[in-house]
Amino acid sequence: MKTNVISFYHEFHCLAGACPHSCCRGWQIPVDEATYQRYQSLKGLRGYSLRRHIKRGEPHVIRPVLFRCPFENSDHLCQHQCNGQTELMPLVCRVYPRHSVSYGSFTEVTFEASCPVIAAMLVKQRKRLSFLPYNQTVDPVWVMENEDEDFLDFLLRDREKILDFLWAKERPLHEQMQAIYAYTRQENDWISRNHMEHLPEVVLSYDPTVQGDYAIERPGGYAFYPIATIDRMLLEHVDYGNLLLRSPKLYRLIRRYDRTFRKMNVKEADVFFHEKILEMLATDPTLEDKYRSYYSYNLQQLYLQAYETYFVLRQTLLATLYTQLLILFDLLDYLENGRVSDEKRQSEVLMLLEIGCRHNPKMTENLFWVIRNDFL
């Protein structure tokens, strides 16, 4: 099976014990079936001490102790890895921060920006990234179950077409995200009605008359998701039980968000958001490309995952959401300090976003549920 890796793949080096975050904390760790069965087959105290740290029920996940993996040792390293027993690590931990997805004939490998090294690398990327062939195997954490090769070919071509459109940079990013939304929404309609033959007729365009019923016309262009929708996501879903303990920095960002926007009505909030972003972008001409690059990276990571669900729109909606949240969190720093933060803080903000709003599959479902209810 071929493996393709994101272009900065070889630049990653784990900080191990010197990591300011450690990947053993702050999120739900799924245990894949093979590792779960390995735990079941181990006899005596060894087996028991592994099994008792798995939550009852499905899917199998590690039961954290004070928000940490119970297998994290006092040097903040994985005890299994230190013992040379990597086979006892769940697959996701063995591969992390790589994000590896198999599409049958090939595997694509990107990275999770919840790792501080990756977040720092991504913040520096202000350009289009690509995939490169890799002559080694990376175990896929996710396997897309489908044999519809024609659809996979379509997704590959469509992803390139969308990225070409994005990197032609003919319009501001918010207009590009709206055009890509309108395009994939039309595609999605044809796909869901099983009329794939109409897909070539769908045009990726900035023209609202071409976008038709899918055009979004709002006073605040960067408020792709209105602030009222973002409110529900952040205050009801991201800020759930003990966020202050789990992630004090994210908690403080969300409180700052609440203080900034709660005094405005819905329309005022959207306009304020949009105008302040334009002001922030004007202070650093490369900043828009940082967000374009992150959005583009998200599309590279997520778009093909529609192979299993045929739900292309979901992938662009999530890519747009993560990008809007990153812009929002950077904006909160900008409003607080009167300037764009340095790259160190920008990468911390990206990491906080990825851990708090993205890394946990249940969180993704909750946020997408808000999109379905409020937006679609």
Q: Which of 23, 113, 250, 269 binds ligand SF4 (CB under 6 A)?
A: 23
22 touches ligand SF4 (CB under 6 A): yes
97 touches ligand SF4 (CB under 6 A): yes
19 touches ligand SF4 (CB under 6 A): yes
Tokens in use for 16?
């191990």
**DSSP letter assigned to residue 88:** G
Whole-angstrom CA distances from 306 to 188, 314, 315 are 10, 8, 7
Which residues have C-beta within 8 Å of that of residue 265, sequence separation ≥ 6?
Answer: none
Nearer to ligand SF4, 301 or 324 (CB): 301
The region of 10-18, 45-53, 163-171, 248-256 touching ligand SF4 under the rule CB under 6 A is 10-18
Nearer to ligand SF4, 246 or 314 (CB): 246
21 touches ligand SF4 (CB under 6 A): yes
355 touches ligand SF4 (CB under 6 A): no
Nearer to ligand SF4, 16 or 245 (CB): 16
Report in angstroms how near the CB of residue 81 gets to ligand SF4 at its nearest.
Answer: 10
The region of 14-22, 29-37, 215-223, 244-252 touching ligand SF4 under the rule CB under 6 A is 14-22
Please state, in angstroms and rounded to a whole number, the distance separating the CA atoms of residues 169 and 344.
Answer: 27
59 preceded by cis ω (within 30°)?
Answer: yes
Helices (H), the chain: 33-41, 44-51, 79-82, 91-95, 116-124, 149-167, 173-192, 208-211, 227-231, 243-246, 248-261, 266-283, 287-302, 306-309, 312-337, 343-357, 361-374
**DSSP letter assigned to residue 340:** P
The region of 110-118, 164-172, 234-242, 258-266 touching ligand SF4 under the rule CB under 6 A is 110-118
115 touches ligand SF4 (CB under 6 A): yes
69 touches ligand SF4 (CB under 6 A): no
359 touches ligand SF4 (CB under 6 A): no
In a 3-state reduction of DSSP, which class is residue 228? helix
Going by C-alpha positions, the residue among 93, 363, 350 that lies closest to residue 241 is 363
15 touches ligand SF4 (CB under 6 A): yes
Please state, in angstroms and rounded to a whole number, the distance separating the CA atoms of residues 315 and 306.
Answer: 7
The region of 113-121, 133-141, 164-172, 277-285 touching ligand SF4 under the rule CB under 6 A is 113-121
Whole-angstrom CA distances from 8 to 125, 136, 294, 349 are 9, 16, 14, 21
82 touches ligand SF4 (CB under 6 A): no
In a 3-state reduction of DSSP, which class is residue 5? strand
Report in angstroms how near the CB of residue 27 gets to ligand SF4 at its nearest.
Answer: 11
Q: Which of 1, 14, 34, 376 binds ligand SF4 (CB under 6 A)?
A: 14
Nearer to ligand SF4, 14 or 34 (CB): 14
The region of 11-19, 64-72, 313-321, 334-342 touching ligand SF4 under the rule CB under 6 A is 11-19
Going by C-alpha positions, the residue among 230, 212, 222, 319 that lies closest to residue 274 is 222
Nearer to ligand SF4, 118 or 233 (CB): 118
Tokens in use for 195?
């009329």
- Residues found near ligand SF4 in the complex (CB under 6 A): 14-16, 19, 21-23, 96-97, 115-117
